[in-house]
């Protein structure tokens, strides 16, 4: 029988005990455009349960060095979207302070975005190359990107990412890097991710109210994938599942390129809410029971084993049955999403689970059963410095945001071929909406 410690108190909103801060000891770093000089990069993961502000250093070579991280409980968000701007702003400000404040305000900062307003699709655009020498240039590539952005217009949506998957040059399939090659007819196959303008505006509003200069908005599963998947994983064919508090985010990669993204509007909070409902307990108590004693595999739990919470006994079996029901639902959503995108049978790399919710006991095993592929848990990889505080699944998005910031900081030649990310016009589009406060 497992015993529950009863001493844990549930901290109140805004209390310091909920804030977490960690900083490595690092020498000062510069901010020049020289690839040999260190640069500071920042990320802000505005999650449903916690906000993480993170600062790192890049010097042109991977891995990114994580310098500082601040965390605060998240208020004012529901399933990844801002529902109370003031509360969200307060939470973001707390996380920024915990990370060392001022520097982050100097930005530029990459911000993660998720939520059920996110839409993604695979599209194909073709343009005729009318240049005399027939060579495909970077300018021509930009025209293809612009074309892909406008391929499925919706006036309430803004394109967040256009990720090239492959190119067809005069009928030759599978070209990954078209620049410098000759072709008259060029087709780009791309994965396009867009989000509701109002949701993006609300997120950026809450962040920029804190005096942060947002340089780019990144779909959260892409950030998590950046932190957790290796180039081999992507090449082999692997899907990532980030089980957060409010949403479960999916990103699947085939032959090195992004093939599918989706956001399932169920996360760990739904698991706890179910336990709270089933046991008639406050949410915080249900959360404690889930984290300490929950399992997604109820068959393995003793029928009569009780767990103790604040002098009350609860059935471990019943708790796990509730959790398994939810876990199955999330995983079936993920399976259907991968099936719908016709990628599930092309993932020899299996499924990589990350995000706080992936830590639920038995979740990996259940994922293998439902998705029909091998599953493994992942924490952020390829980071240096005092990495221990960061190597937890709930920090994958935050670390991935640093990779994105580094990637697009011109520290190394930008890949213009398949797999390169285009952050496009989102920043330009929202620039006029908010006042950018000085750092
Ligand atoms: N050991 C554990 N077992 C089960 N669930 C856990 C465990 N540890 C954390 N969680 C759950 O993980 C969730 C938080 O995960 P995470 O920090 O990745 O979410 P988030 O980034 O704030 O949310 P989102 O990405 O959906 O906006 C919570 O619901 C929490 O209960
Ligand atoms: Mg998250």
- DSSP assignments along 319-379, one per residue: HHHHHHHHHHHHHHHHHHHHHHTT-GGG-TT-EEEESGGGGSBTHHHHHHHHHTS-EEE--
The reply to whether ligand 1 has any atom less than 6 angstroms from the CB of 105 is: no
3-class SS string, 280-323: CCCHHHHHHHHHHHCECCHHHCCCCCEEEECCEEEEHHHHHHHH
Asked, colleague to colleague, whether 119-193 and 230-377 share their fold, the answer is no
CB 125 within 8 A of CB 151: yes
Dump pLDDT digits (tens) for 388-398: 889 999 999 99
Dump pLDDT digits (tens) for 113-137: 998 899 999 999 999 999 999 999 9
Closest CA to 194 of 265, 118, 263: 118
| pLDDT score of 211 | 86
The reply to whether ligand 1 has any atom less than 6 angstroms from the CB of 356 is: yes
Q: Using N-to-C axis directions, what is the helix angle for 363-371 and 316-340, rounded to 10°?
A: 40
Q: Tell me which ligand sits closest to the C-alpha of residue 357.
A: 1
The reply to whether ligand 1 has any atom less than 6 angstroms from the CB of 396 is: no
At 21, is the pLDDT very low, low, confident or very high (cuts 50, 70, 90)? Answer: low
A 10 A CB-CB count for 142 gives 12
Which atom of ligand 1 is the closest one to the Cα of 269?
A: 29
Dump pLDDT digits (tens) for 214-259: 888 999 999 999 999 999 999 999 999 999 999 999 999 999 999 9
Distance CA(42)–CA(19), nearest Å, equals 19
Residue 345: is its pLDDT beyond 70? yes
Distance CA(409)–CA(432), nearest Å, equals 23
Rounded to an integer, the average pLDDT of 336-358 is 97
Dump pLDDT digits (tens) for 25-34: 333 333 334 4
Distance CA(289)–CA(282), nearest Å, equals 11
In CATH, what is the architecture of 230-377? 2-Layer Sandwich (3.30)
Dump pLDDT digits (tens) for 296-334: 999 988 887 788 778 788 888 999 999 999 999 999 999
| pLDDT score of 427 | 34
| Cα atoms found within 13 Å of the Cα of residue 114, Cβ hemisphere only | 33
Give the start-to-end residue ranges of the domains of the chain.
119-193, 230-377
Dump pLDDT digits (tens) for 191-208: 999 999 999 999 999 998
**CATH of the domain spanning 119-193, picked from 3.40.190.10, 3.30.1490.110, 3.30.70.20, 3.20.20.100:** 3.30.1490.110
Distance CA(318)–CA(305), nearest Å, equals 10
438 or 372, which is more confident = 372
- Cα–ligand 1 centroid distance for 357 (angstroms): 4
The reply to whether ligand 1 has any atom less than 6 angstroms from the CB of 267 is: yes
The least confident of 91-100, 171-180, 300-309 is 300-309
A 10 A CB-CB count for 431 gives 12
The reply to whether ligand 1 has any atom less than 6 angstroms from the CB of 112 is: no
Phi/psi of residue 64, nearest 5 degrees: -70, 140
């Amino acid at each position: 029988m497992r015993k529950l410690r009863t001493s844990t108190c549930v901290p109140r909103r805004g209390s310091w005990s909920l804030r977490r801060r960690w900083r490595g000891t690092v020498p000062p770093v510069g901010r020049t455009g020289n690839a040999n000089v260190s640069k500071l990069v920042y990320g802000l993961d505005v999650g449903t349960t916690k906000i993480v502000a993170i600062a790192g250093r890049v010097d042109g070579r991977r891995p990114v060095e994580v310098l500082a991280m601040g965390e605060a409980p998240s208020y004012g968000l529901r399933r990844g979207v801002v529902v109370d701007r003031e509360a969200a702003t307060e939470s973001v400000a707390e996380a920024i302070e915990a990370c060392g404040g001022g520097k982050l305000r100097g930005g530029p900062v990459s911000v993660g975005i998720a939520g059920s307003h996110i839409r993604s699709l695979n599209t194909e655009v073709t343009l005729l190359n009318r240049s005399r020498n027939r060579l495909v240039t970077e300018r021509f590539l930009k025209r293809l990107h612009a074309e892909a952005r406008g391929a499925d217009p919706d006036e309430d949506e803004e394109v967040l990412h256009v990720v090239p998957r492959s190119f067809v040059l005069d009928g030759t399939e599978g070209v990954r890097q078209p620049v410098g090659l000759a072709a008259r007819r060029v087709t780009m196959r791309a994965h396009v991710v867009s989000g509701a303008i109002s949701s993006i505006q609300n997120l950026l509003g809450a962040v920029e109210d804190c005096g942060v200069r947002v340089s780019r908005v990144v779909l959260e599963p892409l950030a998590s994938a950046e932190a957790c998947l290796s180039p081999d994983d992507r090449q082999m064919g692997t899907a990532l599942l980030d089980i957060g508090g409010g949403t479960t985010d999916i990103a699947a990669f085939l032959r090195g390129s992004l093939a599918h993204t989706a956001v399932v509007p169920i996360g760990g909070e739904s698991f706890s809410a179910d336990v709270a409902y089933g046991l008639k307990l406050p949410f915080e108590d249900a959360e404690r029971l889930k984290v300490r004693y929950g399992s997604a595999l109820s068959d393995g739990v003793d029928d009569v084993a009780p767990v103790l919470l604040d002098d009350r006994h609860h059935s471990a079996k019943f708790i796990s049955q509730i959790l398994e029901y939810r876990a199955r639902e999330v995983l079936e959503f993920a399976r259907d999403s991968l099936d719908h995108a016709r990628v599930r049978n092309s993932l020899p790399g299996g499924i990589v689970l990350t995000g706080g919710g992936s830590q639920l006991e038995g979740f990996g095993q259940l994922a293998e059963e439902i998705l029909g592929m091998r599953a493994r848990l992942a924490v952020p990889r390829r980071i240096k410095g005092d990495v221990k505080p960061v190597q937890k699944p709930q920090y994958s998005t935050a670390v991935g945001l640093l990779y994105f910031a580094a990637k697009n900081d011109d520290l190394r030649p930008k890949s213009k071929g398949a797999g390169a990310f285009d952050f496009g016009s989102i920043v330009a589009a929202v620039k006029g909406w908010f006042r950018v406060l000085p750092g």
